[in-house]
Structure formats: structure tokens, C-alpha cells
Amino acid sequence: MSHNLLKGKRGIIFGALDENSIAWKTAVKAHEEGAVFVLSNAPIAMRMGQINELAEKTGSQIIPADATNIEDLENLVDQAVEILGGKIDFVLHSIGMSINVRKGRHYTDQNYDFTQKGWDVSALSFHKVCQTLYKKDAMNQWGSIVALTYMAAQRVFPDYNDMADNKAYLESIARSFGYYFGKDKNVRVNTISQSPTPTTAGKGVKGFDGFIAYAEKMSPLGNASAQDCANYTVSLFSDFTRKVTMQNLYHDGGFTSTGVSNDVMEKFMKED
């Protein structure tokens, strides 16, 4: 069901890989709500994924860009403004990658070249995206920039590895850049801290299935799905959240505020 929440709005959506990804579902939902946008992903991810299918479904153009490369980002922003016929109203940064995780390197035994690359892709790329939009004055007033994060930025989830550090850095950028974007351009910048979600990226983390089951039992409302996250993201792109900025918004069914749940306790209680 459409509410026309994004009618007349233009955007850029980074990171749609396949139909499991939050960026993919956000693109579909934004399209349903009346938005037009361009899709962007790294050339290698585009070969792996099915982004052409999404472009067809949403009537969108794809502009390949390495989000760690300023030249690529400048080209992307220029093309997006031209294709969409005006300044940008919303941006979704849904990009994350850890080579240490992929190669099975433990947090206490990092390859720092891997660490740096992962940080550049997962965190610094968000600053580069914001800076490019800011310098080009490419955002409309009251526009909205959102990046996806995870609670491992605040609490330890051992197998999340160096991605936890990347997410902490990402959230800090949203606050810091959010100040300047708010003061100078009336643009808001937020992060959404999503429940563990079985996306292609998520499944790469060791012990993920067990953790999803645990989070489900801990959260009073249960885990938020990728579709739930897409709906929430669209609300942050809409005009209903104009004064929400520099926030890390937990979208996790109440997990963050729950010390322990009866469902989890039952697992540890010895029967009389």
C-alpha cells in the first residue's frame, strides 16, 4: 500500500546487491512511495548481484561508483542531478565489508592492510559521500541522508570483528557531518541501527543463525526484518521526520533496551 510519502523526491541508493539486501527493499519501497532515484554500487558488486533487475523494476538508472573514490563520487552526484532533473532529497548508504572477516582473521590478529581497506569501504566512504554532496551543494533543503549500522558499535559481539570499529566510526561521522549539514544546508544525517538481518553481508558473520535466534528471543517485538527496515528508512526520507538529525536510531524490536527476557531466562533455568 502506497501513501505517496516520497512523491516528487529524488535520491541515490548505494549498495543494493540482491533482493535480500536492505538497500534493495528500500529502493522498491521508495519507488512505491513515488520517489525517483539512481542506483549505485561498486563495479565488482554489480557483477555479483542482480541490480539490473532492480533498475528495471523501479525504472531507475545504474551509475557504477567505487564509494571510496572521490572522482567516482563526483561523477555519480553530477550524473544523478542531471538524470533526475534536480537536486537530491535522500541518500541511503548501505555499504560494508571486512576483509579480515572474509579471510577468517581474528580480531586480535588483524592484517592491517585488510583493516584499512574495510574501514575505507565501510566507514570513511560515508564521509566521502557526505563531503561530495556538501561541496557540490547537491542536496535539497530538508533532504535526508541515512546510513545503516549495527549495535556492535556500542556492545561487543565477538564475531563481528573489525566491522564493530567501522560502524562506531560511521556513527560518529553521521553526528559530526550532521551538524554541518544541518547548520549550513538544512539537511539531516542519521544512522539506523538495525536488528541482525539475514542479508548476503550478514550471513558472512560466523555464528549468525544462532545470534538471530537469540535476538529474536530477547526483543519484545521480535527482530526487525529487512522489509521493516526499508519502511523505517522511507519514513526518514519523508517530510515527517524533518527535525530528526545526528541520531543513531535503534530499529531492533526493543533489543537494545532489554537486559534479559523471560524467553532467554527459560533456556538457563534448571527444571525443578
Q: 34 labelled as ligand-binding?
A: no
At 204, the amino acid letter reads G
| Per annotation, catalytic residue among 107, 112, 134, 160 | 160
Catalytic annotation present for 107 = no
Q: What are phi and psi of 9, to 5 degrees?
A: -95, 150
Q: 95 labelled as ligand-binding?
A: yes
Task: Mark residue 34 as left, alpha or beta (left: phi above 0; alpha: psi -120 to 50; beta: remaining).
Answer: left
Q: 83 labelled as ligand-binding?
A: no
- Confirm if 10 and 84 have CB atoms less than 8 A apart: yes
Q: 21 labelled as ligand-binding?
A: yes
- Confirm if 144 and 89 have CB atoms less than 8 A apart: yes
Task: Mark residue 207 as left, alpha or beta (left: phi above 0; alpha: psi -120 to 50; beta: remaining).
Answer: left
Report the candidate in 162, 176, 74, 160 with the shortest Cα–Cα distance to residue 118: 162
Question: How many Cβ atoms sit within 10 Å of the Cβ of residue 155?
Answer: 10
Catalytic annotation present for 179 = no
- Confirm if 253 and 219 have CB atoms less than 8 A apart: yes
Query: Sign of the C-alpha dihedral, residues 170, 250, 223, 235?
Result: negative
Judged by DSSP in three states, 188 sits in strand
| Per annotation, catalytic residue among 107, 112, 150, 250 | 150
Q: 192 labelled as ligand-binding?
A: no
Strand order in the sheet with 139-149: 61-62, 36-40, 10-14, 88-93, 139-149, 188-194, 248-251
Binding residues for NAD(+): 15, 21-22, 95, 167
Binding residues: 15, 21-22, 95, 167
Residues labelled as active-site residues: 150, 160
